[in-house]
Amino acid sequence: MRIRLLLCLLSLNLAIAGEPARLQFTRIGPTRIGLFLANIDGSNERALLPADSLDYTPSFSTNGKWIVFTSERGGSADIYRVHPDGSGLERLTDDPAFDDQGALSPDGSTLAFVSTREGGFANLWLQDLSSPSRHARPVAKTNAGSFRPSWSPDGKWIAFTSDRDTTRARWDGGWELIQSTALYIVRADGSSLRRLTEPGGYAGSPRWSPDGRRIVFYRSTPQDVYPGRFGRNRPAVSQIVSMNVESGTVHEYTSGPGLKVAPQWLPGGEVGFLEKFGDAKGLVFVSGKTGVPGVMRNPSWSPDGKTVVYQKTIDAPAPEMLPAFSSDSGFSLYRTGNFPAWSPAGDRFVVTVGSDLQMFDARGGSGRTIYSGGKNGQITFPAWSPDGKEVAFGFGSYFTGHAKPAAIEIIHPDGSGRRTLTEGPGNAGFPSWSPDGKRIVFRVAGPEQGLRILNLADGKVVTLTSEYDNFPAWSPKGDLIEFTSFRDGDFEIYSIKPDGSGVQRLTHTRGNDAHGIWSPDGEWIVFSSSRKGWKDEALVSDHGPQPYGELFAMRADGSGVRQLTDNQWEDALPAFQPKPK
């Protein structure tokens, strides 16, 4: 197995000129997240650690001496712990997989956490902190997601949520996928797995009562879950409830609108939780008292109930290129703005910033706007001509359905010579040039659908496909066009010859496979996929309930699939940087 892996890595490196390929991509996620402590009433807020990385999902230990949290300060997401005064920082896990949602056992000897080790799906793992080897093992493993582990007070049981018994549903038959989770318990040795709630809707973020008899969690029905992003859907509604583990009886503490998450029992029988949205967003208690106000995530109260730790996104301008962790040595990854596209010479790239198309130098610095769409539409998927003299892009309405028109436009890199290439009521977008620069393939939707090829010499457009197809990309070799299609009831990646023959399905996994691009030599396709499912409860995320996209690479025929990123963010829209000449 190791020899096979080594050969695959070697072939990948050889295919990209003997050195790691430089790859940019768009990430839907923050640049910095900091951890903060405050008194229960919201006073005396202070930073736990310098907020210069991505630190999140904090939790107090049972004795209050440690705060366990996730950090990407070392590259991949790993579990750390630190004293509440910021001293004694210690790294507990060190694995290229995604490790998150850590919780120390009551005696502090074992760490329960969520990890994508051994298969890429988010599963529960236990790590022995009392031995020098710190051996880790999976618990109740499955090819689905398990989240938010919580220890019983006696350390014998772990409560958690999972989407293992549910079916992924598509919102309105489209791109967005809706998650459903149920509440489970399992013994620390992996035995006696039991589901406590019925599938459908949400059961989330369980915490045990001090006597170990009840579990408090948030609950939402299928009708109350918000299905999408971009502000076009109503907010989700959830309530704080508890369940008797033995009898199954449920007590509801809250009612009415509002997305309520992260409940926890506090001394004296009080229950605190987080109200995510609305005028009263912040920390709230079932008694009606309020705590720390404002936008925050993942609160955890100290055992004495006097202090709370939570995470907050730190406002910071996104740099032109920010190094990102790659799980494959064949690729050097950099996150950047939306829809990155490199010039053929590798000396410049363009991204979209709002409704503007901006140009950046490969060495960094400030970008300059070469075209501003204003309030007339969005700019998407810019693509350089093979000679580097023009940039094609889509302009119009793209994220509110296909009823509104959009067109393919073209502009010189200095901002001059803008002209429209397509016309009519359809929604045209996502252009890609043929290697000889004579044709552009693009997508249409609305009155018509499918892929079209535009001949730039005479302006004639021919139909390539008539299915629900999108994201076309012309191979640098000129022999194939890869694209994403829903023709078989799932978003998968296909290839087709420019004459419309030889359609071949390249991916065969459940979920969304999309946003494919070719490597400069035409041997590899890098794409985004949700095949590994969710890595957390969707309702605690700020970025929508679809599974988080990861970057993958595969050969032109669909073989040799390799995962490049593994995190809780949505990574998509990759772009290779040609080696500067």
Concatenate the DSSP letters of all residues of 107-155 into one string. Answer: TSSEEEEEE-TTTSS-EEEEEESSSTT--EEEES--SS-EEEEEE-TTS
Distance set, CA 520 to CA 10, 27, 392, 514 (Å) = 18, 22, 18, 19
Do 562 and 21 form a contact (C-beta atoms < 8 A)?
no
What pLDDT does 267 receive?
94
Residue 209 has pLDDT above 70, yes or no: yes
C-alpha–C-alpha distance, residues 284 and 275, integer Å: 7
Query: Would you say residue 321 has pLDDT above 90?
Result: no
Confidence check: pLDDT of 91 > 80: yes
pLDDT for residue 404: 83
Residue 400 pLDDT exceeds 80: no
User: pLDDT per residue over 412-435, tens digit each?
Assistant: 999 999 999 998 888 999 999 999
pLDDT of residue 1: 34
The per-residue DSSP string of 177-243 comes to EE---EEEEEETTS---EE-S-SSSEEEEEEE-TTSSEEEEEEE-GGGS---STT-SPPP--EEEEE
Q: Give the pLDDT score at 541.
A: 83
Query: Which pLDDT score is estimated for 320?
Result: 66
The confidence score (pLDDT) of residue 397 equals 87
Please tell me the predicted confidence (pLDDT) of residue 166.
84
Q: Which of 147-151, 322-326, 327-331 has the highest mean pLDDT?
A: 147-151
The per-residue pLDDT for 223 is: 66
Rounded to an integer, what distance in angstroms lies between the CA atom of residue 150 and that of residue 97? 21
pLDDT of residue 170: 79
Which range is least confidently modeled, 76-80, 122-126, 256-260, 363-367? 363-367
Token pair 């009392």 is found at: 130
pLDDT given for residue 85 in this prediction? 97
Question: What integer is the mean pLDDT of 191-208?
Answer: 94
Largest CA distance in the chain: 79
227 has a pLDDT exceeding 60: no
How far is 244 from 185, CA to CA, in rounded Å?
Answer: 12
DSSP letter for each residue of 22-71: EEEEEEES-S-EEEEEEETTS-S-EESS-SSSBEEEEEE-TTSS-EEEEE
Structural contact between residues 158 and 137, judged by C-beta atoms closer than 8 angstroms: no
pLDDT at 6 over 90: no
* pLDDT value, residue 16: 44
Tens of pLDDT, residues 525-575: 999 999 999 999 988 887 654 667 899 999 999 999 999 999 999 999 999
pLDDT at 9: 37
**Mean model confidence pLDDT for the chain:** 90
Distances (CA, A) of 552 to 445, 466, 514: 27, 27, 10
For the cut 70, the answer to whether the pLDDT of residue 365 exceeds it is no
pLDDT in tens, 32-75: 999 999 999 889 999 999 998 999 999 999 999 999 999 999 99
Q: Which spans in 345-479 are helix H? A: none
pLDDT at 510: 87
Share of the chain above pLDDT 90, in %: 73
Is the pLDDT assigned to residue 381 strictly greater than 70?
A: yes
Task: Taking residues 362-383, report their average pLDDT.
Answer: 86
Predicted confidence (pLDDT) at residue 179 exceeds the cutoff of 90? no
Give the span between the Cα atoms of 216 and 253, in whole angstroms: 10
pLDDT band at 7 (very low <50, low <70, confident <90, very high): very low
468-484 average pLDDT score:
97
Question: Quick one: pLDDT at residue 277?
Answer: 83
Chain segment 495-510, per-residue pLDDT in tens: 999 999 999 999 999 8
Q: Which residues pair with 335 in a beta bridge?
A: 25, 322
pLDDT at 211: 96
DSSP 480: -
For residues 154-166, one letter each, b for 16 or more C-beta atoms within 10 angstroms of the residue's C-beta and e for the rest, the string is: ebebbbbbbbbeb
Mean pLDDT across 103-127: 97
Q: pLDDT at position 353, please?
A: 83
Nearest-CA neighbor of 484 among 454, 501, 509? 509
